[in-house]
A and B are shown apart, each in its own frame.
Chain A
Amino acid sequence: MLRGPDARLRFVNVLMIAVLLPILGQLVRLQVLERSRRLPEVEELLQRPYTLPAPPPGIVMDAHGELLVGNVPIYKVGAEISRGGGISVVGNVTRTRQVAEELAPLLNRDSEELFQALSVPPDAGGRVWRPLAAAVPADVGEQLMQLRSERWGWLTLEMEWQRYYAEGDLASHTLGFVTERDKDGQQGGFGVQGYYVRLLSPLPVVGRGEVDAYQVPLAEALALGELRAYPGTDLVLTLDRTIQAFVEGELDWAMQEYRAQGGTILVLNPRTGAILAAASRPAYVPYEFGLYPESEYPLFQDPVVSSSYEPGSVFKVLTVAAAVDAGGVGPNWSYHDSGYLEYGGVPIRNSDHRAHGQQNLQGLLDSSLNVGAATLTTRVLGAESFYRYMRAFGFGQKTGVDLVGESTGILHFPESEFWSDSSLATNSFGQGIAVTPVQLMTAVSALANRGTMMVPYVVAERRYPDGRLAVTTPRPLGTPITPETADYLAELMEKSVAHRLTRAQVPGYRIAGKTGTSQIPIPGGYHPVDVITSFVGFGPMPDPEVLILVKIDRPGIERHLRWGTQTAAPTFSRVAERLFVLMGIPPSEAWAGP
């Protein structure tokens, strides 16, 4: 039909154009006209999400850089099995049994259980993933990786970081723990780790891009280094592990010696607010928090910041400080102690039920006179002034310490419906008021630090993964009293220890302190027998470097010995004596010899 080469050439040309035109048209349609609609489909086809290997969470160290909480890699082991040649994956029944027997000692599991896990039921179709073991140690994980690359390609290994508590359950309340992420990606926790959970936890780095046949991402973001996995921020605490271990040992001794049900010892630097040691009993094992039943979850709360209690007579130093600072009383002030005072319809008696005659401030503190303290609030200060000082001392408010679960304590002000006239009298000696140990310590630190309270803190440094270093600067929380008032109160407290509280003394060191014995409120009144004994003290005077609170809950010794002077004061003395040595603090006075 087609004659001549020209005609045939034209025909071929037309044919080629006819073939190419639809292709070109399709290209224009897909690439230009329907680009926006087609792009997601194409991305879905070509791009895959990928995750960079998980970097470790931040570690926690003590003040000298000793590791307290680190990380160890663990593995979640599974098998991706498929039906092939019968019921099993891995080949056949005999082969599966061999694999199960080989895996059993590595995973510390029964071989029969593993055989069942590796076997595919007849009704299952396609590929199935079976978990084989969780929290497999790193060395076994490495062995399994080797086996996977050599023989067992069906084995799946997912690396996770597990927290490692280098000192066991030391400082468990302060260190706390972090829970796993919930379905919304949120994490919670307790202690300092719970407080700094966002800093400690690295964020999973997820990218999306093209991957090759081995699922290795080809994404530009990876090549350009835009995706980087940063580990968590490391924390350096103010705690000293040696002091912490010693303090915990002393608390355990006191618990045993006084047959107590619980207790707390808190050591703080009053100049900076740095917490040097914080021990509470009963404690828990932080790396086994998942094993505790729900009924024992209250154990996870740190009593130092979460548990409030009636401080009792320890509180009198603050009442006296307020009265002195307000200008109502001074060295020349005195009152007649008849052993009894009625205010707001409530009778107030001294703890020894005795009258002490003419007393000054020194006598009030030495004999811990309830009537004297109530006299100060009801006749000298008045409600407005007293509660203004209590607010200034931080009661009823959080201190801002960097630990999870801080409570505000309970202090009813005159405008509160729970306040009554009698509160002004009972609050003066620490009754009808609830404080946390850290709150009380912060308030008393004003007496030891020339009138200034510092914000208590446990994290001294934050070491960011990009190399930045953030050192915590001590911050003043407030100045509730003048330096002169603070010095005067410290002098009164020092004399009190020197003359009356001999059990709290530390040979060679000048100590200021005050005991407390408080009843435990129960519905309808106070517990008839149980008490909380405490001692708060600082030293060495005149330039105190440590402030210590010893609190012993419900000592079970003879009733006539359940006093702060009999229990908390000697414990304070033991703690302070060794602490001064550990901290290299020289004695206040020259050694007189044995």
Chain B
Amino acid sequence: MSVLWRQTTHGVQRRPETASRTTAKLILMGALVAGLLAAAFLALTTSTVRLSGEIWAAHHEMARIQRANSLLEAEIARLSSIPVLQERSRALGYERAGTLDFIEMGAP
């Protein structure tokens, strides 16, 4: 609904102006929606950035764990390698087996 009014500013008589409340509301709504969209976009961008940062950090953490894992694998393999096992066996007093004989067992 339009309203007509006369306005006096600083004592100056102004001509009657026509304004639409609907237009004003539409502009306001438009600004609000634009603001909301902008806020949503900002939130999305921020979230993406944060997520990217977290994923980047996760990649590095994964790489760190992979490095630690590879080192542990290598260390386990070194400790269970044939030369180390042989040395350890000799230290414990074991010797290489001589002839092995099989004993034929009767059927149960």
Chain A hits for B55, CB < 8 A? 222-223, 225
Q: How large is the interface on A (under 10, 10 to 19, 20 to 34, 35 or more residues)?
A: 35 or more
* Residues from chain B with Cβ under 8 Å of A72 in the complex: 70-71, 74
Query: What 0/1 pattern do residues 43 to 55 of A give for CB contact below 8 A with B?
Result: 0000000001111
Q: In angstroms, how far is the closest chain B Cβ from the Cβ of A558? A: 29
Known: A5-B9, A67-B73, A72-B71. A53 touches B49 (CB 8 A): no
Decide yes or no whether B12 CB sits under 8 A from chain A.
yes
CB-CB < 8 A to A66: which residues of B? 77, 80
Contacting residue for B56 out of A55, A67, A216, A220, CB 8 A: A216
Encoded as 1 (CB less than 8 Å from any A CB) or 0, chain B from 59 to 89 comes to 1101100110011011011101111000000
A392–B62 alpha-carbon span in the complex (Å): 52
Q: Are A138 and B102 in contact (CB under 8 A)?
A: no
**Is A342 in the interface zone, CB < 8 Å from B?**
no
A422 in contact (CB, < 8 A)? no
Known contacts being A66-B80, A508-B102, A581-B100, is A222 close to B70, with CB within 8 Å?
no
B-facing mask of A148-169, CB < 8 A → 1, else 0? 0000000000010100101110
Q: When the two chains form their complex, are residues A217 and B63 in contact, meaning their CB atoms are under 8 A apart? A: no
- Majority SS at the chain A contact face: loop
In the bound complex, residues from chain B placing their C-beta under 8 Å from that of A86 are none
Among B51, B74, B100, B103, chain A packs the most CB atoms within 10 A around the CB of: B74
What separation, in Å, do the CA atoms of A541 and B59 have in the docked complex?
56
A431 nearest CB across to chain B (Å):
39
User: How far is A242 from B77 in the complex, measured between Cα atoms in Å?
Assistant: 14
Q: Which residues of B contact A231 (CB under 8 A)?
A: 66
Shortest B32–chain A CB gap in Å is 23
Pick the residue among A4, A56, A67 that contacts B66 (CB under 8 A). Answer: A56
Does A455 sit within 8 A of B, measured CB to CB? no
B95 within 8 A of A: no
Is there contact, CB below 8 Å, between B67 and A138?
A: yes
In the complex the two chains form, what is the Cα distance from A590 to B103 in whole Å? 8
Contacting residues, chain A, for B48 (C-beta < 8 A): 218, 220, 223
Assembled-state Cα–Cα distance A581/B96 (Å):
13
Distance (whole angstroms) from the CB of B87 to the closest CB of chain A: 13
Asked if B20 lies at the interface with its beta carbon under 8 angstroms from chain A, I say no
Given contacts A170-B82, A222-B55, A242-B82, is CB(A71)–CB(B104) below 8 Å? no
CA distance A242 to B70 in the complex (A): 23
- Complex CA gap A104/B14 in Å reads 87
Q: Is A241 an interface residue (CB 8 A)?
A: yes
**Which residue of the partner chain, among A54, A166, A218, A245, contacts B77 with CB atoms under 8 Å?**
A166
> How would residues 1 to 30 of chain B score, 1 for a CB under 8 Å from any chain A CB and 0 otherwise?
000000001001000000000000000000
B52 & A219 in contact (Cβ 8 Å cutoff): yes
Instruction: Tell me the bound Cα distance from A266 to B74 in angstroms.
Output: 28
Min CB distance B97 to A, Å, is: 8
Residue of B9, B66, B83 contacting most chain A CB atoms (<10 Å): B66
**Does A587 lie at the interface of the complex (its beta carbon under 8 Å from any beta carbon of B)?**
yes
B77 & A70 in contact (Cβ 8 Å cutoff): yes
Tell me, rounded to whole Å, the shortest Cβ–Cβ distance linking B107 to chain A: 14
A210 to B101, CA, bound (A): 72
Find out whether the CB atom of B82 lies under 8 angstroms from the CB atom of A53.
no
* Distance in angstroms between the alpha carbons of A168 and B55 in the assembled complex: 38
Q: Are B76 and A67 in contact (CB under 8 A)?
A: yes
The residues of B that contact A242 with a CB separation of less than 8 Å are: 82
- Interchain nearest-CB distance for B18 vs A (Å): 16
Residues of B within 8 A of A5 (CB): 9, 12
Q: By the criterion CB–CB under 8 Å, are B104 and A590 in contact?
A: yes
The yes or no answer to A229 lying at the interface (CB within 8 A) is yes
Whether B104 lies near A55 (C-beta < 8 A) is no
**Minimum CB distance partner of B86 in chain A:** A245
- Indicate if A591 sits at the interface (CB-CB under 8 A): yes
Contact of A138 among B52, B60, B71, B73 (CB under 8 A): B71
User: Which B residues touch A167, using CB under 8 A?
Assistant: 81-83
The smallest C-beta distance from B76 to any residue of chain A, in angstroms, reads: 7
Name the contact of A591 in the complex, choosing from B12, B53, B76, B102 (C-beta under 8 A).
B102
The reply to whether the CB of A212 lies closer than 8 angstroms to some CB of chain B is: yes
Chain A residues closer than 8 Å to B51, beta-carbon distance: 223
Contact with B along A226-256 (1 / 0, CB 8 A): 0001010000000001100100000000000
CB-defined contacts of A217 to chain B, threshold 8 Å: 52, 56
Q: How far is A55 from B62 in the complex, measured between Cα atoms in Å?
A: 9
Interface: A344 (CB within 8 A) = no
Least Cβ–Cβ distance between B84 and chain A, in angstroms: 10
- Contacting residues, chain B, for A220 (C-beta < 8 A): 48, 52
Closest B residue, CB atoms, query A585:
B102
Please name the 8 residue pairs, one residue from A and one from B, whose CB atoms are nearest each other, closest first.
A53-B63, A166-B77, A67-B77, A73-B67, A223-B51, A223-B52, A164-B74, A71-B70
Some 15 contacts from A to B, beta carbons below 8 A apart, are A53-B62, A54-B63, A56-B66, A70-B74, A72-B74, A73-B70, A164-B77, A168-B83, A212-B49, A218-B52, A223-B51, A229-B63, A508-B102, A586-B102, A591-B103
